[in-house]
Structure 1
Amino acid sequence: MKISQRLELPATPAVAFATMATPQFQNAKLEATSDPGHTSEVREDGDETVITTSRKLPTNEFPDFLRKIAGDSIIVGEVQRWGAAAADGSRDGTVEIEVKGQPVKLVGTLRLEPTATGSVETVEGDLKCALPLIGGKVEKAAAPSIVRAIELEAETLRAHLV
């Protein structure tokens, strides 16, 4: 299942990325989107900035059939790999999100680019569940939670930019 979000930000790509690539922002986004017990790391790997997070999410909003599979909560690991800034400040990256212990994964691309009023972050991903027969149902059920988390992260970023 395709996931696509376009997030308007009131700051240049350089300022937005400088904020995103701090442990303080990563911890704030995890506090806004997960239960206690999250972890985050921001590190440089050559020309890339690597942001790794792990968060515990409740499943109380999942459909009953999915809660029976996942339990009361899930652990979601995320790795973002951002490349160096281009001359105009834009950056490209990749994202991988995995649900620990479950055959659910999102693989996608990230782009941060300038606009007339700041910047825009684009998230494009492919959500897959490798469960035979019900994989499509799981993808449909999980997609709204992923979209909500992306939107909440953008709101948190906007608040940190002001």
Structure 2
Amino acid sequence: MKISETVEYPAAPDVVFAMLTDERFQGRKCEQAGALSHDVAVTRLDAGRRVVTRRELPTENLPDFAKSLIGRRLMITETYEWAAPDGDGSRTGELTVELGGAPVSLRARLALVPAGNGTQMRLDGKLKASVPLIGGRIERTAAPAIIDGIRSEGTVGRAWLSEQR
């Protein structure tokens, strides 16, 4: 299932990149998502970065068939791989989201691009549930939560940026 989202930030791409690769920001994002626990690791890759977050979430709001696959807790691992900036400060990257205990993953291309007086983070990816017969149903169930997570990150990010001014 294809997923495409655009998140707007009121800051230049270099400022947004610094935020997205800040361990404290990533921790706040996990807390705002209701994580029972989380950890964050940021690694330099030449002029790029790798950001890995792992968070444990309750599954009480998931449909029963999803809970039967996952259990009472869901471990989500997000891995962002950001490349070096282009001349205008834009960057490209890749995002992988894996759901521990469930055969579901998201693979997406990312772009941080200048837009007016701010930055857009564009995400284009594919959500895949590798379960015979019910994979499509799982994808349709997981997609809104993935999209909500992307939008929530935008909300947390805009609040973070307003606090930094």
Q: Same fold (TM over 0.5)?
A: yes
| CA deviations over 1:121-150 (Å, ceiling 9, x no partner) | 011110101110000000000000011111
CA contact (8 A) 2:69 2:101 kept: no
Partners of 1:99 and 1:55 in 2: CA distance: 10
The answer on 1:60 being equivalent to 2:56 is: no
Cα shift readout 1:24-73 (whole Å, capped 9, x = no counterpart): 11111111113231000111023320000001122222122111211122
1:21 matched to 2:16? The reply is no
| 2:8/2:120 contact within 8 Å kept | yes
**Counterpart in 2 of 1:144?**
144
In the aligned structure 2, how far is the partner of 1:100 from the partner of 1:51?
18
Q: List 4+ stretches of structure 1 deviating above 6 A.
A: none
**Partner in structure 2 of residue 80 of structure 1:** 80
For the 8 Å contact 1:48–1:81, the answer to whether it is kept is yes
Q: What CA RMSD, in Å, does the superposition of the two structures yield over aligned residues? A: 1.0
TM-score by length of 2: 0.94
Tell me the secondary structure at the aligned position of residue 145 of structure 1.
helix
Distance 1:117 1:45 in 2: 28
The worse-fitting range, judged by mean Cα deviation, of 68-77 and 134-143 is 68-77
Equivalences for 1:3-152 in 2 at 5 Å? 3-152=3-152
**Whole-Å Cα distance in 1 between the matches of residues 23 and 64 of structure 2?**
35
Q: Distance in 2 between matches of 1:67 and 1:25?
A: 29
Q: Percent identity?
A: 38
Q: Which amino acid aligns with 1:93?
A: G
Amino acid of the structure 1 residue aligned with 2:67 = R
- Number of residue equivalences: 162
- Secondary structure of the residue aligned to 1:35 is coil
Unaligned runs of 5+ in 1: none
